[in-house]
Structure 1
Amino acid sequence: MPVLLFVLQLAATLIMVGLIWFVQLVHYPLLGAVGEPQFAEYEQAHCRLTGYVVIPPMLVELATAAAMLAWRPDGVPRWVPLAGMGLLAVVWLSTFVLQAPAHGRLVGGYEAATHHLLVASNWLRTSAWTARGGLLGWVCWQLLSAQR
């Protein structure tokens, strides 16, 4: 069971790593090019539809990361799930304290300062998810190396 939890966590995390880099480098910067007349409608649709893509892997990632605190695969040091949960705390706090409120303001219409805050603050999530991906990649390497 611990290896299955790890594989599910790795898959969910890597999905989010790819998605957050796309959002950081493409999607969020392009919000500024939508145009004022359509922006509020676009942002409302963005907020509604993005949840379908991000909520399932985020919940799987959170559940499996929490489970890994209790059930670790053999050879996985105790600090790994603790560090992973710390990085997830950064992601979730950043989401609810910085990005969600920025989106909430942008639903009312484009604001350059809020858009800039959204793009700049999203580097916190991008960095934390990338670090999680690297951490879990290292664990995967360790687990596969131990199988030889």
Structure 2
Amino acid sequence: MELTLWELLKLCTDVGLVVLIWMVQLVIYPSFCHFGKEGFDRWHHIYMKNITFIVLPLMLGQLILSGYLLYDSKFGFLHIVDFLLVGSMWLSTALFYKPLHEKLVAQKFDVPLCQKLDRTNWWRTIVWSLIAMLTFYNLVIQF
């Protein structure tokens, strides 16, 4: 059995998001708590504007590829799990993390909110890591 282009692209988007989320979790979010109001406001604005150019194409690609592979697999169990995990990342980002970032903007700087963002983001770090492991398992180990 040979890897299809779609499977390879899915693996690439998953790995890209894993690398990104671990950098965010270990470097970027912890640094938020070390800014003052003025520095944080400037940095957060730059961060939110620029990170979108990286995150949005990866997340959109992951969602499209996950949906395509789910359909192509005739709704195989591992692809259902993958699609649900990818969907949970979209929901948690839209319903929890984006509003949390907006609160940080509105309040200009708030250490407890920065700490909450850092602490709760472990959820996304773990789930995106699981998605990549699931894709790797599905494509390589099951081979």
TM, length-normalised to structure 2: 0.90
Q: Residue 127 in 1 paired to residue 126 in 2? A: yes
Tell me, which stretches of 5 or more residues in structure 1 are unaligned?
none
Q: Is the 8 A contact 2:66 2:82 kept in 1?
A: yes
Identify the range of structure 1 (38-47 vs 17-26) with the bigger mean alpha-carbon deviation: 38-47
Identify the range of structure 1 (20-29 vs 40-49) with the bigger mean alpha-carbon deviation: 40-49
- Aligned positions, number: 140
Distance 2:95 2:118 in 1: 14
Distance 2:81 2:19 in 1: 20
Secondary structure of 2:78's aligned partner: helix
Shift of 1:69: 1.3
* Equivalent residue, structure 2, for 1:51: 52
* Equivalent residue, structure 2, for 1:107: 105
The percentage of aligned residue pairs carrying the same residue is 26
Distance 2:136 2:63 in 1: 17
Secondary structure of 1:34's aligned partner: coil
Secondary structure of 1:33's aligned partner: coil
CA RMSD across the alignment: 1.7
Shift of 1:45: 1.3
Amino acid corresponding to residue 107 of structure 1 in structure 2 = V
Shift of 1:77: 8.1
TM, length-normalised to structure 1: 0.88
Q: Is the 8 A contact 2:33 2:115 kept in 1?
A: no
Residues 142 and 77 from structure 1, CA distance in 2 versus in 1: closer, same or farther, beyond 3 angstroms?
farther
Tell me, which stretches of 5 or more residues in structure 2 are unaligned?
none
Secondary structure of 2:121's aligned partner: helix
Identify the range of structure 1 (38-47 vs 128-137) with the bigger mean alpha-carbon deviation: 38-47
* Equivalent residue, structure 2, for 1:14: 15
Distance 1:133 1:19 in 2: 12
Q: Which has the higher contact order (CA 8 A, sep 6+)?
A: 2
Distance 1:98 1:70 in 2: 29
Amino acid corresponding to residue 39 of structure 2 in structure 1 = Q
